[in-house]
Structure 1
Amino acid sequence: MTVDGVPAGAQRRCAVAGSPIAHSLSPALHHAAYAHLGLDWEYGRHELVADQLAGFVAGCDPSWRGLSMTMPLKEAALELGEVDEIARLAMAANTLVFEDDGARRVYNTDVGGLVNALTAAGLHGVQSAVILGTGATARSTVVSLARLGVRRITVVARTPAKALPLISLADYLGVQLTVQPWTDPAVASDLLISTAAAGAVDDRAPEWVAVNAAVFDVIYDPWPTVLAQAGAAQDRIVLSGLDLLVHQAVLQVELMTGSTVPAEVLYDAGRTALAANSPA
């Protein structure tokens, strides 16, 4: 018996795509989720850049159920199917679901993942935040902060002109957003979120931590980052990219399988994978 070309009980296929992708923890997290749910599903990884994405997706057969997408695919992903409202707002997507009727639906689970990670860390009532960086993750962060009730955001940018779309987005969401050049003095807030590349914040990490009550660095490997170390040294609440990765993956698993999995199952898998990859 088949359903829309997929044999009943057949193994479904999912994967993560991006470039570089060899370091990704997503296979470890999703396989842990499948084991917890009793699913004999496959989850692989594919090295793809933006102009390869549409062709790859077009070649996916009916056994495919989902594709997680990381950089540099989060903007190109918006062209792959019916786009969820949150992904449209953030102008970035990280999840593609292949429906059994042939439809393709595009989502952004980074937004909900960040909200859930901050909530799980007890960061309630945040009124102001600083975002370091202006890329796709920064856009999702603006949407997440608005959903948490944050009213004032400062975006720190090496090239302030690149932050213009964030100003329009914040205006639409009813959030006050200002842009500050990278070299200006650190701004105080309830929460500092770095979406910048590894090492970009290192030379000013203690300065930024000193005037911010909590620190979230979206990098998870190598860990701890200089920013995270500065946060710990100054007794701040510190969150890592693993917190974001786990909580967004919980939402991806639900979209792809229809079932929920406890975040701690994915945390355990992520920590084990990171430990295995660490230098002896």
Structure 2
Amino acid sequence: MPGRRKPNPPEEEPSNESRDYSVRAVERVCSILNLVQESVDGVTLNAVAKTTQLPKSSAFRYLWTLENHRYVERDTDSGLFRLGLGFVGMQSRHLEVLRERARPWLERLRDEYDETTNLGILDGNAVIYLDIVESRRTVRLSVSNGHRDPIHSTALGKAIAAHLPEGRVREMLTQAGMPGVTPNTITTPDAYLDELGKVREDGYAVDNAENEPDGRCVAVPILGTRLPAAISLSAPASRFAREDVAKVAKSLQEIADQIAAPEERPEQE
């Protein structure tokens, strides 16, 4: 009988020292994201090309692909690249930390004005409410946690959108549409972008019966958290006069600064 064929000896497993499973393209993507993440204002194409040791044309293709998948976004005015909104859904723990940090400040603000206070974050093309501290009054403006509202008709949406690249804002408005929620709602992109310019100038955003027929809301962004978030106070317009908006906005701005500083917490009275 012919002899049984002996199996080939196994190939020698490479040692830990010689093992290298890295993929050059993935390493470059990680380098780009690390660079963008470490920058507050954003990075230039030249900086990305230098870090990755790629020609500018190749670095741009990497950035274009990441932008297409919303992991980076480009400011059309400055040309700087920042982290995009594609990471927001992956940051559930960061969202919870933000909510926990904001809660006592929202409660203090509610008690000061006896009106509903809110914490919202951009989710896709809409604002989602992470936390609501309701007014104790019988007649009040409030929604439930997880509720989604358009960016074009809400103070929260305006406050957040005012600090996004214009190209991204236009894309969001095109995708979501700009329906007239009330007769006062802004319904054209150009008018909305003009409104965002005013928001940046004033430091706060206002919804004057644009999302609710008898509602008024003022909001400010929470800057420095790497999350597109904002806080707001909302009330029936009959109780929240236009002349009180600036005063409330100042309180919101002070609180937004405190939320961005985790070591600070309101004193218990």
TM-score normalised by structure 1 residue count:
0.33
Greater Rg by CA: 2
Q: Which has the higher contact order (CA 8 A, sep 6+)?
A: 1
| Between structures 1 and 2, the one with greater strand share | 1
